[in-house]
Amino acid sequence: MLIHRMHLDDNYVVLDVNSGAVHIIDKMIYDMLGIYDGTNKTETLQHFTGEYAAADVEEAMEELEDLQKQGLLFSPEFPVPDTFSDEPILKSLCLHIAHDCNLRCKYCFADTGDFGGHRALMSNEIAEQAVEFAIKGSKQRHNLELDLFGGEPLVNWPVVEHVVNYVRRREQETGKNIKLTLTTNGTLLNDANVKFLNDNRVMLVLSLDGSKATHDNMRPFAGGKGSYDKAVAGFRKAIDSRHGKNYYLRGTYTHYNLHFTDDVLSMLEVGREISMEPVVGTTEPYVLKEEDWPILDKEYEKLARVYLEKRRKGEGFDFFHFNVALDNGPCVAKRLAGCGAGHEYFAITPEGDIYPCHQFVGREKYKMGTLATGIVKKDMVQYFRHMHVMKKDACRTCWARFFCSGGCHANADLVNGDIAKPYEYGCKIQKKRLEMAIILEALLTEDVNEGKKDLRPAIDNFKFQVKKEQ
């Protein structure tokens, strides 16, 4: 597929897939691009005779041909670069600080914290070994990311504290830039740990599903009581103390809250940096059903309208999946390689076992080694490394291939038992939110081109922003 048309209400946009160019178009051009494939000019002109004035159609065709000459429409495919050397360089590691949690979230891919195994806490020694594994694996790469994950990492606070101090020391010694992120349910945040996380530049991913009713339904404490009040108290403490920056409120929507825009709006009462993701599963009652799709399709449009309206009013919020960098996005190599799971990115369990990513933990056949042995399944590393988007049958001709990179390997494996076969429902959602993201970015960019205020979201790769002293 060489182009992709999309629209939100009467805003029409076309993406030139192979160049990455984006154009805002009128309805007539939109209609014409349903027929015109870059070569069939006569057929297209004939097709629209009678529907539109002949002179208008011819004028529109001239504009389309002009874009083609500039390489901005119907750009041909280009050869995939050989950017994948056999020896991967590690860029990111997820430390499972605790396979334990004080909540019992119904959709948890960690099986309410224990990842299908027994409950366990990472030790200081394993945590240090994991950091050294990351530093060594990152070789000459300057930037390195470590995510403190769970379960709930704060149930193992002494090790969080230890590993953060250790990382900051090793950062000085190695000269690397080590970005730390901690994902938490918020219920154990307090003044002391919030201060420590702020002082040590730890980004926060705060799990909040929306309104109290939505959140409490899916995220109860072990005893069954909803966790919203306690979580939000912790989130407010953290967000206020870091001046409204350096965090994401990250939610999951399910079959039970298909109208998730309402939940996103509820989240705005807590913070303005928001990510909301579809739940993933197979046969569980909360899983998204086929008949849910028309509702979700419309819901992303509804969210896009709210998002645009608020941005233009100067009351904007950030929605992670509406962030799309049209001009300065990732290079082709990155767009092909995707998430890096299994070759640039790994997860470490409390015992020191190595998996391709946090979602694969507990799927025994994907255990790649241990911190003691190193990675022993070298073939699996190469399999992940070379399973890029152009190797997947369903992706090779998809218009979204340079934005989604072939989707999530773990979801593909969970649903289809094969990382080469993308999770189709996830693709539908991905494509819809990408359409909305591209349209929104195009409209906000056009506002700037017309001399209006730049209200586009700042995309900063989730870097810790230090507040400037007054």
d(CA 203, CA 198): 8
Using CB under 8 A as the binding rule, whether residue 81 contacts other proteins is answered as yes
* Nearest in space to 265 (alpha carbons), one of 254, 249, 288, 281: 249
Using CB under 8 A as the binding rule, whether residue 108 contacts other proteins is answered as no
Using CB under 8 A as the binding rule, whether residue 390 contacts other proteins is answered as no
CA angle 377, 368, 365 (to 5 degrees): 100
Using CB under 8 A as the binding rule, whether residue 244 contacts other proteins is answered as no
Side chain identity, residue 436:
M
Q: How far is the CB of 204 from other proteins (least distance, A)?
A: 10
Using CB under 8 A as the binding rule, whether residue 361 contacts other proteins is answered as no
For strand 11-16 and strand 22-25, is the pairing parallel, antiparallel, or unpaired? antiparallel
Using CB under 8 A as the binding rule, whether residue 8 contacts other proteins is answered as no
Sign of torsion, CA 356 362 366 367? positive
Using CB under 8 A as the binding rule, whether residue 54 contacts other proteins is answered as no
* Interface mask toward other proteins for 264-283; x: CB under 8 A: -----------x-xx-x---
Using CB under 8 A as the binding rule, whether residue 394 contacts other proteins is answered as no
Using CB under 8 A as the binding rule, whether residue 378 contacts other proteins is answered as no
Using CB under 8 A as the binding rule, whether residue 261 contacts other proteins is answered as no
Using CB under 8 A as the binding rule, whether residue 1 contacts other proteins is answered as no
Phi–psi pair at 131, nearest 5 degrees: -60, -45
The smaller minimum CB distance to other proteins, of residues 34 and 81, is found at 81
Residues of span 405-434 touching other proteins by CB under 8 A? 405-408, 411, 426, 430, 434
Q: How far is the CB of 469 from other proteins (least distance, A)?
A: 26
* CA trace torsion 138, 178, 320, 332 (10° rounding): -30
Residue from the set 6, 8, 94, 436 that interacts with other proteins by CB under 8 A: 94
Q: How far is the CB of 155 from other proteins (least distance, A)?
A: 18
* Nearest in space to 122 (alpha carbons), one of 93, 86, 82, 84: 93
Using CB under 8 A as the binding rule, whether residue 178 contacts other proteins is answered as no
Spatial contact of 194 and 238, defined as CB atoms under 8 Å apart = yes
Using CB under 8 A as the binding rule, whether residue 328 contacts other proteins is answered as yes
CA atoms within 13 A on the CB side of 100: 12
Residue from the set 89, 222, 372, 376 that interacts with other proteins by CB under 8 A: 89
Using CB under 8 A as the binding rule, whether residue 35 contacts other proteins is answered as no
Strand partners, 331: none
Sign of torsion, CA 131 137 143 147? negative
Residue from the set 357, 371, 394, 395 that interacts with other proteins by CB under 8 A: 357
Residues of span 213-242 touching other proteins by CB under 8 A? none
Burial 262-279 (b: 16+ CB within 10 A, else e): bbbbbbeebbbbbbbebb
Side chain identity, residue 414:
L
Using CB under 8 A as the binding rule, whether residue 250 contacts other proteins is answered as yes
Residue from the set 404, 415, 436, 440 that interacts with other proteins by CB under 8 A: 404
Residue from the set 125, 284, 418, 446 that interacts with other proteins by CB under 8 A: 446
